[in-house]
Amino acid sequence: MANSILITGAIRGIGAALTEHYSAAGWQVYAACRNPEKAGAIAELPGVELLKLDVEHEASIAALGELLKRKPIDVLINNAGILGGGYVEQSFGGTDTEAWLQAFRVNTIAPLRMVEALIASLENGQAKKIINISSIVASMTTPLFGGMYHYRSSKAGLNSITVGLATDLADKGISVASVHPGRVATDMGEPDAPINPQQAAVYIGAIVDKLDIDCSGKFFSYDGSEIAW
């Protein structure tokens, strides 16, 4: 039986590149996204099953968990995320509460709900690995710049979720890590960023490969180095 992976936000940016990467490696890929009808060429990739998922809505997450409860999943990559507004809307004195709350629903709460909904499938998988896509701006000890309050706080919250899950799931043999994918050229990121989505997928794949219970609960950069919380 082929290895299986579920990727959220799977038809754009890093998610699309991860879908292509694992399809090419012969994996069964559950490509979860809000609009499967917009998947384009991804829909034709071997081993890819498109699944409708809006991570902002817990009922959608629960429905996906029910759909997949009898299918083993080796790896879950919680990739779907939002900035939570533009840079001005996230600056000191300019924060927007509703956009901030949306960032927390998508970036922080949804990954935990995904794990809860898919726990039976993860327990039945062989690899038992979870990757939460985070960001260097979530680090408390590596401040690059100010602002981005919605995004950075929601990703810092995600890192806290990672630590909690690593503790709670250790007895099930499930490993969990947060990953900073680097500065990636995507619609959400910087168009002139030095890393393209395909490179990011390779880097993240290498971290998936090395993740085990001994390094569960850590925060890794795209190059495999550990980032201080």
Tokens of 23: 């399809």
Round to the nearest angstrom and report the end-to-end CA distance of the chain.
37
Q: Could you confirm whether 151 is annotated as catalytic?
A: yes
From the list 189, 190, 134, the residue with the least C-alpha distance to 158 is 134
Tokens of 68: 């997949």
Select which of 22, 30, 149, 151 is catalytic.
Answer: 151
Number of H helices, E strands in the chain: 6, 7
Strand partners, 32: 8, 51
Tokens of 99: 């956009």
Q: State how far Cα 140 lies from the chain centre.
A: 20
- Residues whose CB is less than 8 angstroms from the CB of residue 7 and which lie 6 or more positions away in sequence, other chains included: 15, 18, 19, 22, 29, 30, 31, 32, 77, 79
**CB of 158 closer than 8 Å to CB of 104:** no
Q: Catalytic residue positions?
A: 151
